[in-house]
């Protein structure tokens, strides 16, 4: 990992710590998805440890919670049920909107992690 990327991780972590609510944290994570990887999680853990050593248990716990959220949201294995639920959601949105692309594209954009070969296989099945 290069210094520039490490600095970007640290900046994002401290920006998250300064967010007043979860909606802003989610927006920051979404806007910086390219930074969310295993090195980012390691950086979160390291900073959480430093915070704990300095007696800032609240910030340390917030970062631990953030790491758990990221692990569950970004690194969780997508199950067959997840694909089926997504497919049903797309089909329902298509029917409800009379196939209006402006109603369907945001749904697709929010679920890019599911648009892969597994989705195609489940769709065919």
Tens digit of each residue's pLDDT (9 = 90 or more) over 98-119? 999 898 888 888 887 788 888 8
Give the total number of structural domains in the chain. 2
In a shared domain, residues 98 and 64: no
Whole-number Å distance between alpha carbons of 31 and 113: 16
Q: Are residues 31 and 70 in the same domain?
A: yes
Report helix, strand or coil for 116.
Answer: coil
| Range(s) of the domain holding residue 63 | 3-74
d(CA 36, CA 67): 10
pLDDT over 90 (residue 54) = yes
pTM over 0.75: no
Label residues 35-44 b or e (16+ Cβ within 10 Å = b): bbbeebbebb
Can you tell me the distance from the alpha carbon of 103 to that of 82, in angstroms, rounded to the nearest whole number? Answer: 20
3-class DSSP state for residue 32?
A: coil
Q: Are residues 55 and 19 in the same domain?
A: yes
Closest CA to 48 of 39, 36, 57, 38: 57
In this prediction, residue 95 carries a pLDDT of: 94
Residues 54 and 92 in one domain: no
Looking at every residue in the chain, the average pLDDT score rounds to 89
Q: Where are the alpha helices (DSSP H) in the chain?
A: 3-17, 22-31, 38-53, 57-74, 80-96, 101-110, 117-124
Most distant CA pair in the chain, distance: 57
Residues 70 and 95 in one domain: no
Question: Does 46 lie in the same domain as 11?
Answer: yes
- Tell me, yes or no, whether 24 and 69 share the same domain: yes
């Amino acid at each position: 990992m290069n210094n520039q990327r490490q600095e970007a991780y640290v900046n994002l972590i401290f920006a998250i710590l300064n967010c007043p609510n979860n909606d802003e944290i989610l927006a920051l994570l979404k806007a910086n998805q390219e930074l969310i990887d295993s090195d980012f999680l390691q950086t979160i853990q390291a900073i959480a440890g430093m915070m704990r050593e300095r007696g800032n248990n609240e910030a340390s716990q917030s970062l631990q919670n953030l790491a758990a959220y990221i692990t569950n949201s970004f690194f969780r294995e997508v199950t067959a049920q997840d694909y089926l639920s997504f497919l049903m959601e797309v089909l329902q949105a298509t029917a409800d909107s009379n196939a209006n692309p402006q109603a369907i594209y945001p749904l697709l954009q929010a679920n890019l992690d599911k648009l892969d070969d597994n989705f195609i296989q489940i769709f065919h099945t």
